[in-house]
Amino acid sequence: MRYPNNLVKKYTSEVNYKNRGMNLEDDLNSTNKYYFTENIAIIYKKPTPITIVKVDYKSREDAVIKEAYFKTPSTTDYNGVYKGKYIDFEAKETINNKYFPLRNIHKHQIEHLRKVLDHGGIAFLIIRFTKLNETYFIEAGKFIQFVDNGKRQSVPIDYIKENGYLLHEKYNPRLDYLKIIDNIYFKEDKYEKH
C-alpha cells in the first residue's frame, strides 16, 4: 500500500509506538499521579484559566457554563510541593527539530519563573521535541539566562542539551523529572527513601 507522503506516515506510526499515543501533558499527568500515589510529591496541573461570562443555573449542581473565554495564563501550568520545597514548571512541545521557538511560551510565564527563583522555589521547563521524540528538563535559570542574553527568538536544541538533561521515558513514572531535581537540589537523599 502506498501513501501520498511516505515520510509523514512513517513518522506518525513511529511516534505512536514510542509514545503509546500519549502527548507531553498526558505523560506529565501520569507521572504526577505516580508521585501522588507513591507519596513522593504533590504536583498538579492548574486548571485552564478562563473568563466565565454566562452561566445557566438550572440547579446548583447542574450549572452549565454557556459562554466563556480562554485567558492568557499569567503563571505556569504545573506547581506543587516536593520535600517541603515549592516546585513550579512549564511544559511545552515543539514540532521543530533544532530550536525551541520562544513564541511558544508567554512572556508572563518567563517572568513568573524568574519570580519563583527570586523567592527560593525550584523552577524549570520540560520541553519535548516531538519529531525527535526527545524530552528535556532545563532549569529556569539556564533558560532565562539564554532569553536575557540572546537576541534570538528561539533556543537551539544544542543549548538545551548542554544546559539541560534528557528525560528518558519509562513505563512508570513516564518522565521521572524529580530524579533530576534530586540530583541538583537534594544530592544527599533520594525520593526512594522517602
**CA-based torsion, 50, 53, 58, 60: positive or negative:** positive
Q: Quick one: which H or E segment has residue 66? A: strand 64-70
How many chain residues touch its own copies (CB under 8 A)?
Answer: 39
What's at 189, amino acid-wise?
Answer: D
Residue 112 as a binder of its own copies (CB under 8 A): the answer is yes
Q: Smallest distance, Å, CB 64 to its own copies?
A: 6
Among 3, 13, 37, 49, binds its own copies (CB under 8 A): 49
Q: Smallest distance, Å, CB 89 to its own copies?
A: 13
Residue 118 as a binder of its own copies (CB under 8 A): the answer is yes
**Which residues partner with 90 through β-bridges?**
125
Residue 84 as a binder of its own copies (CB under 8 A): the answer is yes
Residue 13 or 74: which CB sits closer to its own copies? 74
Residue 67 as a binder of its own copies (CB under 8 A): the answer is yes
Q: How far apart are CA 34 and CA 57, in angstroms?
A: 37
Residue 42 as a binder of its own copies (CB under 8 A): the answer is yes
**CA-based torsion, 176, 177, 183, 186: positive or negative:** negative
Q: At what angle do helices 140-149 and 107-118 cross, to 10 degrees?
A: 120
Among 9, 13, 38, 52, binds its own copies (CB under 8 A): 52
| Residue with cell string 503509546 | 20
- Which spans of this chain sit near its own copies (rule: CB under 8 A)? 36, 39, 41-42, 44, 46-50, 52, 63-71, 74-75, 79-88, 112, 115-116, 118-121
